[in-house]
Each structure stands twice: as structure tokens, then as C-alpha cells.
């Protein structure tokens, strides 16, 4: 296809595609899907080789959020039966993070539900960052705490944070229909504050909330304009008890097209498959590694992911390799620019990372980032631990069946609330 050849050439030159080209990727047929993946794979390999960066989520504070984000299981009024607990102590969070690091994660993403942190919260998280870095040499830490006030990003940087995650989630035009307790502009402002403080900016989206192709292209172009180092792509987890519980709009093929479009628009940034990959990509997850160069290991904030060992096996079986702690994630031109910005913002002292910023900072973001499927803070996939199998959210999921569900039907059997790891006495999934 001439379209794909053009997109590959532009991606190798870091040239922005036209909106028409980005929309055309989302409109390709199933017959063209493997060609789309192969084309996006050429761009991915140019900038990231066959490396896969592992990120690990630690939910510092679960539930009890005053924000009304429709996609989020931690939102005000949510009836989702998730874990609810207040702040983990620094040593508890560090212990949780150690499980992910032992599993191969090079970035730990610290997430807390809520509108935004108080200065006391920032101090608390700063102590947690220090504890994690003392016990895990070379590890990247990304914070995801919601909307930032003036000076808070600088305080997190001085405590050792490498990145800050705050997702835009959806287009500006549709944002008010998803959240009313804060604005799209509020989110943009927080990403800009992180940038100005010399932190690596991690900001992404949530697909599957009923948005149009135009909305998806709008938010990805906005993320490119914000110059995010890392773009977590979340696929909505329709939790029972949330306003979007009935939104099952994604197929594995649709998810692959979305990831490819993000890669073409943001060719040289860390594209992370975040929350919902097990629910919507399912058996197509290994194919998605040809497009994205980063995933979360284990569980998310409030939902379970597949077993950590299964993630590692998947990466190896697909012919990829886990990115080591001594490897710089970002291409040299982005890593150098990030290091220079960090040094300038810190007055030249460079208190945290340099060329390690795999897309969220000189060292690491969340997502949460990936974030997205929960948390008013705009984080993302949430979780980071695991142990015994949790009960599925939907009651009907308890029954087994011999039939194979259609690709676009509700798969409530794949949605399981996290019951292990942080905030519990059970071992994490890493």
C-alpha cells in the first residue's frame, strides 16, 4: 500500500503524518491488518530495536476518589468492588516495588487516586521514591498523583522522580462527556508543569469509551504536540459499577490499528500497551509487541493482569528481549534533550536521570499509566501485584462455558478485580 510506505518513510524521518493518513490507518480492513502491523514494526525497530521495556505499577492509595471520571473504578460513586485503602507507608511501597524489579521491571510507577496531591502527599511520595531508589539501584520511578500545583513537580524531581504520568485520555471535544470535575485544560497544564520541572512527561489515552476515529486522532496529535516521551495506550476495562460498564466497543484488530496509528504519529517515543491489553487484545498481544515497545508487568491498579511469568514468556516467544536496566530506552536525540532539560530545570545538578527516560522521564512513568482505566489523577492501568485468582467482576463470569465468544462481545470473564499485592497480605503478581 502506498499509504503504508509513506507512513514508514515519515516515521523513519520523525515526520508528522497528515490527519487523513492517520485516519486511513484506523479505516484499514482486516485483510490489510498484517501489512499495517509490519509497517508500524519497521518504525518501532528503527527507534527501539526488539527491546521491550517492563513497567510495574504500585497503587499507593486505592479508591476513595472525589473525581467523577466515567471510566474509573475508583471514581466518586463507583459501585465496583475494588480494594480500598489509604496511603501505603514508604517501606510497604518499596517492598511492593521490589517484586516488580525482581521480575525484570526497570520502571516503577507510583499511583495514587485523587484529584491531586497536597504538599504533605508530595512529601510522603518523595520519601517513598527515596526508599525505592535506595533499595533498587538504577531503577526509574514515575509518579502519577493527579493534578499538580505550582512547585510540586519540582519537589518530586528533587526527591528523585524521573517522570510524571498524567493522561489526556480522550479528545478535548469529548472530554466533558467523560469527566466534569476537572477539565481537559487542567490535564494539559499538569503535563506542562512536569515538562517545565525537567521530568519526563508520560501521557496517553484510553480507547474504547465510544469515541470516534477523529477523537482518537485528535488526542494522539495533542500528545505529540505536548512532546510526551511516553504514550501509554489503555483499552477501557468496563468495570461493573461504573458508567461505562456496557461499553464493549473494541476488537483485537481495532486495538492493533489504534496502536499502529499511535506509532506512526509518535514514531520515536515509548509506546506502552497499558490497561486492558489482556481483555481486548487477548491472544493478539504478541503481535502488538511489533508495534509497542513497552508494557506493564503483572497487575494494574484495581484489576488483574495476566501472570508476570506469562508476560516474560510472551516476550521471549515472540522473539523480543526484555530491556535491561543499563539500556537507554529513548533514542539518543530524545534522551539527550531530556537530560539537558532536566539539568537546566534542576539548576544543573541533575538530581535524577539522564538518558534512561524510556518515555516517561529520564527514567520512568506510570500509567499509568498508563494509565487510564481508573483514578481521577489520570493515571492508568493500575495495579502491579498479584497472587491467587480473583473473582471476576460480573456474576455471570463465574460460570464456565464451552462456547467461543465472538470477537466483539462483552468478555466480562476477563475482568477480575485485583485482590493481591499492594494493600493486601497476599503476594504480588510479578
Catalytic residue among 65, 266, 379, 382: 65
Catalytic residue among 51, 75, 272, 418: 272
Annotation says 72 is catalytic: yes
What is the rounded distance in angstroms from the CA atom of residue 360 to the CA atom of residue 113? 19
The answer to whether 371 is a known ligand-binding residue is no
Catalytic residue among 51, 69, 266, 382: 69
**Which three cell numbers mark 409?**
462481545
Catalytic residue among 124, 142, 144, 277: 142
What is the rounded distance in angstroms from the CA atom of residue 249 to the CA atom of residue 240? 15
User: What DSSP string describes 363-399?
Assistant: S---BTBSB-SS-TT--BS------SPPPBSSGGGGS
Catalytic residue among 44, 72, 254, 263: 72
Annotation says 349 is catalytic: no
What is the rounded distance in angstroms from the CA atom of residue 224 to the CA atom of residue 231? 9
Nearest CA to 381 out of 273, 282, 308, 293 is that of 273
Annotation says 255 is catalytic: no
What is the rounded distance in angstroms from the CA atom of residue 398 to the CA atom of residue 403? 15
What is the rounded distance in angstroms from the CA atom of residue 262 to the CA atom of residue 249? 18
The answer to whether 144 is a known ligand-binding residue is no
Annotation says 142 is catalytic: yes
Annotation says 272 is catalytic: yes
Catalytic residue among 109, 144, 266, 379: 109
The answer to whether 382 is a known ligand-binding residue is no
The answer to whether 75 is a known ligand-binding residue is no
What is the rounded distance in angstroms from the CA atom of residue 272 to the CA atom of residue 200? 15
**Which three cell numbers mark 122?**
508530595
Catalytic residue among 144, 187, 202, 420: 202
User: What DSSP string describes 270-339?
Assistant: EEEE-TTHHHHTGGGHHHHTTT-SEEE-S--SSB--S-HHHHHHHHHHTT-EEPPTTS--S-HHHHHHHH
Q: Which residues are annotated as a binding site?
A: 65, 69, 72, 109, 142, 202, 272
Residues tagged in the binding site annotation for [2Fe-2S] cluster? 109, 142, 202, 272
As annotated, the binding site for [4Fe-4S] cluster includes 65, 69, 72
Question: Active-site residues: which are they?
Answer: 65, 69, 72, 109, 142, 202, 272
Amino acid at each position: 500500500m502506498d499509504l503504508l510506505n509513506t507512513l514508514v518513510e515519515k516515521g523513519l524521518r520523525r515526520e508528522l503524518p497528515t490527519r487523513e493518513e492517520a485516519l486511513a490507518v484506523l479505516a484499514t480492513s482486516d485483510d490489510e491488518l498484517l501489512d499495517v502491523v509490519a509497517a508500524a514494526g519497521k518504525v518501532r525497530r528503527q527507534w527501539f530495536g526488539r527491546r521491550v521495556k517492563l513497567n510495574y505499577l504500585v497503587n499507593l492509595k486505592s479508591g476513595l476518589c472525589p473525581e467523577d471520571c466515567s471510566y474509573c473504578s475508583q471514581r466518586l460513586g463507583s459501585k465496583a468492588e475494588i480494594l480500598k485503602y489509604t496511603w501505603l507507608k514508604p517501606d510497604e511501597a518499596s517492598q511492593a516495588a521490589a517484586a516488580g524489579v525482581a521480575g525484570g521491571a526497570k520502571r516503577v510507577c507510583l499511583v495514587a487516586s485523587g484529584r491531586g496531591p497536597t504538599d504533605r502527599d508530595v512529601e510522603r511520595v518523595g520519601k517513598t521514591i527515596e526508599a525505592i531508589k535506595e533499595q533498587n539501584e538504577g531503577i526509574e520511578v514515575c509518579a502519577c498523583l493527579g493534578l499538580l500545583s505550582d512547585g510540586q513537580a519540582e519537589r518530586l524531581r528533587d526527591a528523585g522522580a524521573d517522570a510524571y504520568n498524567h493522561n489526556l485520555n480522550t479528545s478535548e471535544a469529548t472530554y466533558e462527556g467523560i469527566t466534569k470535575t476537572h477539565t481537559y485544560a487542567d490535564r494539559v497544564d499538569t503535563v506542562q508543569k512536569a515538562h517545565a520541572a525537567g521530568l519526563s512527561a508520560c501521557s496517553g489515552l484510553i480507547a474504547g469509551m465510544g469515541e470516534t476515529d477523529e477523537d482518537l486522532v485528535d488526542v494522539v496529535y495533542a500528545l505529540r504536540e505536548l512532546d510526551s516521551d511516553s504514550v501509554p495506550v489503555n483499552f477501557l476495562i468496563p468495570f461493573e459499577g461504573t458508567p461505562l460498564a456496557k461499553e464493549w466497543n473494541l476488537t483485537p484488530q481495532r486495538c492493533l490499528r489504534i496502536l499502529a496509528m499511535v506509532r506512526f504519529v509518535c514514531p520515536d517515543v515509548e509506546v506502552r500497551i497499558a490497561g486492558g491489553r489482556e481483555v481486548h487484545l487477548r491472544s493478539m498481544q504478541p503481535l502488538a509487541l511489533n508495534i509497542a515497545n513497552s508494557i506493564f508487568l503483572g497487575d494494574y491498579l484495581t484489576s488483574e493482569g495476566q501472570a508476570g511469568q506469562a508476560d516474560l514468556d510472551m516476550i521471549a516467544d515472540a522473539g523480543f528481549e526484555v530491556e535491561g536496566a543499563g539500556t537507554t530506552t529513548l533514542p539518543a536525540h530524545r534522551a539527550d534533550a531530556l537530560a539537558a532539560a532536566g539539568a537546566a530545570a534542576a539548576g544543573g545538578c541533575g538530581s535524577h536521570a539522564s538518558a534512561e527516560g524510556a518515555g516517561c522521564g529520564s527514567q520512568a512513568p506510570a500509567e499509568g499509566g498508563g494509565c487510564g482505566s481508573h483514578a481521577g489523577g489520570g493515571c492508568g492501568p493500575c495495579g502491579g501485584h498479584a497472587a491467587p485468582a480473583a473473582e471476576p467482576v460480573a456474576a455471570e463470569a463465574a460460570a464456565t462455558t464451552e462456547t467461543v465468544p465472538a470477537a466483539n462481545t462483552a468478555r466480562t470473564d476477563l475482568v477480575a478485580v485485583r485482590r493481591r499485592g499492594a494493600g493486601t497480605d497476599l503476594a504480588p503478581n510479578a
